[in-house]
Amino acid sequence: DIQMTQSPSSLSASVGDRVTITCRASQSISSYLNWYQQKPGKAPKLLIYAASSLQSGVPSRFSGSGSGTDFTLTISSLQPEDFATYYCQQSYSTLRTFGQGTKLEIK
Amino acid sequence: QVQLVESGGGVVQPGGSLRLSCAASGFTFSSYGMHWVRQAPGKGLEWVAFIRYDGSNKYYADSVKGRFTISRDNSKNTLYLQMNSLRAEDTAVYYCAKDLRVTIFGVVITGAFDYWGQGTLVTVSS
């Protein structure tokens, strides 16, 4: 199976900050990388698919980049509603796998 | 609008069985692959199983292979997960999710989960 590793596991930031979360795959996955946001008690929400394509309805402050094994999710200017847990997920293999998550907290 | 509604969760003893259902609406169910994803209490997301749009192929995480079976009834717009030989470590919220399918510059992109249900809790305990 393809292992996905996110860093950091947790992050404290302030409203207005620029934040970057990293995801690394155990083998090359081309651009088959997706990002999700999850708030407590809610289902995850798709933010970015195919490494850099913004899902419909997602604010443009979210962006994704990378290919091969290294990927990043960037939030350009944190808003109060962005404090949540973020997951990466690979879709290169039919056996999908997620990263362990990055919890973004208010500083 | 797309809606996915899971049902069938509950408390079951170790070694027992349970069948989850996911009722879909708001899209052409028979045209899309579907997934089950679970989340143990306080833990991260774990992909469980995938079924192609026509049920022709099914894939499972190693942790559930041989115990869980994914299926679908396209005439009823419903996805299922039959769970047998349940273990304590199967305790989780189970989500059904629709497989993304978009075409960009003539290239079909799939594999992300673009819509999710609200989840149903399965507790395996004696």
pLDDT digits (tens, 9 = 90+) for B7-64: 999 999 999 999 999 999 999 999 999 999 999 999 999 999 999 999 999 999 999 9
In sequence order, which residues have a C-beta less than 8 Å from that of residue B7 and are 6 or more positions away? B20, B21, B22, B23, B120
Inter-chain residue contact A95 with B61, CB threshold 8 Å: yes
Q: Which residue of B has its CA nearest to A88?
A: B45
How high is the pLDDT of residue B109? Answer: 83
**Residue range A54-86, pLDDT digits in tens:** 999 999 999 999 999 999 999 999 999 999 999
* Closest residue by Cα to residue B6 from B108, B90, B86, B121: B121
Inter-chain residue contact B95 with A55, CB threshold 8 Å: no
CA distance A21 to chain B (A): 16
B102 has pLDDT over 90: no
How high is the pLDDT of residue B52? Answer: 96
- B15 φ/ψ angles, rounded to the nearest 5 degrees: 90, -10
**Residue range A4-37, pLDDT digits in tens:** 999 999 999 999 999 999 999 999 999 999 999 9
DSSP B46-57: EEEEEE-TTSS-
How high is the pLDDT of residue B16? Answer: 98
CA distance A1 to chain B (A): 9
- B29 φ/ψ angles, rounded to the nearest 5 degrees: -55, -40
Strand partners, B20: B81
CA distance B79 to A59: 31
Span B61-76, average pLDDT: 98
Over chain B, what is the mean pLDDT? Answer: 96
- Most B CBs within 10 Å, among A49, A86, A98, to test the B interface: A49
* Closest residue by Cα to residue B6 from B115, B126, B125: B115
